[in-house]
Amino acid sequence: MKLTELVQKLNLSVRSAKGNLEREITGGYASDLLSDVLANGEEGNIWITLQIHQNIIGVASIKDLAGIILVNSREPEPETVDKAEAENIPVMVSELPTFELVGRLYNLGVGGTKE
């Protein structure tokens, strides 16, 4: 599944890298701990988190994640958006909490990564 489809089906607002939504995603990863994502996130994953600090872009870039969805209508900090544009990492916003959003992704056939 491509990011564009997720944006449409889950009613996400895109905050950065609008031109980079054609990437095929390999699965989902949900966590609010940067160290956890650094250790366990996989290439091409869509990352679901509450963290809005600019460090999330660094993590997404190092792990070559497909994008980040911020939950609970949490807006990225301005520095986060700047960095995301520079690194070409799509940051999206959903009004749903993690549990609900992941549930819907799962329903759409996006799987979790294996441990």
Binding site for other proteins (CB under 8 A): 27-36, 40, 48, 50-53, 72, 74, 77, 95-100, 102-107, 111-113, 115
Smaller CB distance to other proteins: residue 1 or 34? 34
Smaller CB distance to other proteins: residue 14 or 110? 110
- The answer to whether 88 and 20 are in contact (CB under 8 A) is yes
CB of 14 vs other proteins, minimal distance in Å:
19
**Among the residues of the chain, which ranges form H helices?**
3-9, 34-40, 55-62, 78-87, 98-107
Per-residue tokens: 113: 């990564």
- The answer to whether 113 and 45 are in contact (CB under 8 A) is yes
Per-residue tokens: 55: 């460090």
CB of 18 vs other proteins, minimal distance in Å:
23
Smaller CB distance to other proteins: residue 4 or 55? 55
- Residue 105 to residue 58: CA distance in whole angstroms: 24
Smaller CB distance to other proteins: residue 88 or 112? 112
CB of 94 vs other proteins, minimal distance in Å:
10
